[in-house]
Structure 1
Amino acid sequence: MLKEFQEFAMKGNVLDMAVGIIIGAAFTTIVKSLVDGILMPIVGYFTGGVDFTEIFTVLGEGEYASLAAAEEAGAAVIKWGVFINAVIAFLIVAWILFILIRSMNRARDQLLSKEEPAPEAAPAGPTQEELLLDIRDLLAKKV
């Protein structure tokens, strides 16, 4: 069983997946910074200063001025705004990955089309009639 696990762990797919996960984690921090620091202020500007992180619903009784106040009081809170931010971050990551993969596929296709030379035309051989004439001539010489 240990040998099977070792074979599985040493396959290229597992190592590629591990590298992808590590790069994905690093990419997530970049995207989170992009969403929180750049895009959400722009979205807030165009929506009249709405801060999505402050959209919440308190379960039970009590009204709180901010999400931080509700959490500090220990109230059960549904954080709608945090969810909206997460959805926006996901859509941005998906869009960036789509553009990145699309660009890489186009670049790869262009590179492959440039590298592959057009196949050379096969040298023209004798036609079937010419071969039959040659065979006839050879047979005539033997007789």
Structure 2
Amino acid sequence: MGVLAEFKEFAVRGNVIDLAVGVVIGAAFGKIVTALVDNIIMPPIGWLIGGIDFSDWVITLREATVDASGAEVPAVAIGIGAFLNTLVQFVIVAFAIFLLVKFINRLKRKQKEAPAEAPPPAEDVLLLREIRDALKQQAPGERIG
């Protein structure tokens, strides 16, 4: 089997398509969560604790300078605010995935609990049931036949 045929078989398999759809939806969901955290959640938290804009909250290790040739040397800073925003985004996404997995597991559990329909009895079983019922209906001492 050629490499192209193998790749085609791999690419059209159901799991790969499902994975691709999941990645695209996950990327869109990530953008929504980023907007939620950056524009809705963090500004009120920053306002409540003294007007801090978390996206600009940094610890500067070295200020920006200009070297001898006149080129600007950028500042060296630790972006604590950006890290906190990303941490909040992670918690939201992890919680959403947890709820989704919990919902899917509940659906699977309900499917397993649903009783499977019994297959119709075999012909010999039906014949034995008829004999049993006939014996129950006969009077004591009466012969069948």
TM-score normalised by the chain length of structure 1: 0.63
Query: What letter is aligned with 1:92?
Result: I
* Structure-2 residue corresponding to 1:138: none
Residue deviations 1:45-74, cap 9 Å, x none?
Answer: 4433332212212332459xxxxxxxx983
Matched, 1:116 2:115: yes
Query: What letter is aligned with 1:97?
Result: I
8 Å contact kept, 2:63–2:74? no
Rate the CA distance shift 1:58–1:5 in 2: closer, same or farther, 3 A. same
* Structure-2 residue corresponding to 1:9: 11
* Structure-1 residue corresponding to 2:136: none
Secondary structure of 2:74's match?
A: coil
Please give the residue correspondences for 1:86-105 in structure 2 after superposition, counting only pairs within 5 Å: 86-105=86-105
Q: Measure, in 2, the Cα distance between the counterparts of 1:61 and 1:30.
A: 34
Q: Measure, in 2, the Cα distance between the counterparts of 1:78 and 1:22.
A: 31
Query: What letter is aligned with 1:85?
Result: N
Count residues with an aligned counterpart. 117
Q: What are the ranges of 5 or more consecutive residues in structure 1 without an aligned counterpart? A: 64-71, 127-143
Secondary structure of 1:59's match?
A: strand
Rate the CA distance shift 1:47–1:107 in 2: closer, same or farther, 3 A. farther
Q: What are the ranges of 5 or more consecutive residues in structure 2 without an aligned counterpart? A: 66-71, 129-145
The structural deviation recorded for 1:107 is: 3.8
TM-score normalised by the chain length of structure 2: 0.62
Secondary structure of 1:21's match?
A: helix
8 Å contact kept, 2:64–2:73? no
Please give the residue correspondences for 1:63-78 in structure 2 after superposition, counting only pairs within 5 Å: 74-78=74-78
Rate the CA distance shift 1:17–1:53 in 2: closer, same or farther, 3 A. same
* Structure-2 residue corresponding to 1:58: 60
Q: Measure, in 2, the Cα distance between the counterparts of 1:49 and 1:32.
A: 20
Q: Measure, in 1, the Cα distance between the counterparts of 2:104 and 2:35.
A: 24
Greater share of helix = 1
Rate the CA distance shift 1:62–1:73 in 2: closer, same or farther, 3 A. closer
8 Å contact kept, 2:62–2:76? yes
Residue 42 (structure 2) aligned to one of 40, 43, 46 = 40
